[in-house]
Amino acid sequence: MKLEARSRIQDQDQKDIKYMKAAIAQARKAYKLGEVPIGCVIVYEDKIIGRGYNRRNTDKTPLAHAEITAIKKAGKFMQDWRLEGCKLYVTLEPCQMCAGAIVQARIPEVIMAAENPKAGCAGSVMDILNNPDFNHQVSVKKGVLQEECSKMLKEFFLELRNRNKLLKEKKGS
């Protein structure tokens, strides 16, 4: 590989890390609320134009996913529902609802950290993002800061199980 091409790839890798760290910061906001720590940012021309984090329990709606919130904010910024030319960074592989919204928004690229073997729709359970029957397919890059995001999710669910166990024990006594 030529030096110039390698340099471009390294520059993009550094940008991917930078923006995934911004998505992780969003996930930490969800964690502080007691929500599953999932965060998302949408980038256009090297600027974050949409941010979101999971708020399903807080807002009492299944629609309050990180990606949906970020897509809404990015659409307002772009003054269009089409988010062509944008990149979506997310800490966990999108579910079917979010993957569908990504396709509908015409987002060309998704960069994700951790895979979701139980509900992921960017290749784990199914691949909505690259279904050839749809009129839009999405380029997917996996594994950016995967360990950090997986660790945060594991810690959250361990704390949740321990908290639920204590509540159950209190009710029983």
Is 95 annotated for ligand binding?
yes
Q: What does the alpha-carbon distance between residue 121 and residue 65 come to, in Å, rounded to a whole number? A: 14
Q: Kind and range of the H or E element at 29?
A: helix 3-32
Q: Is 1-172 CATH 3.40.50.450?
A: no
User: pLDDT digit string (tens) for 23-62?
Assistant: 999 999 999 999 999 999 999 999 999 999 999 999 999 9
Edge to edge, the sheet with strand 47-53 lists 47-53, 39-44, 86-92, 109-114, 139-142
Active site residue 45: no
Selecting among 4, 35, 67, 147, the annotated active-site residue is: 67
User: pLDDT digit string (tens) for 60-108?
Assistant: 999 999 999 999 999 999 999 999 999 999 999 999 999 999 999 999 9
Please tell me the pTM assigned to this model.
Answer: 0.92
User: pLDDT digit string (tens) for 95-152?
Assistant: 999 999 999 999 999 999 999 999 999 999 999 999 999 999 999 999 999 999 999 9
Q: From its phi and psi, is residue 119 left (phi > 0), alpha (psi between -120 and 50) or beta?
A: alpha
Candidates 81, 52, 93; CA nearest to 69 is 52
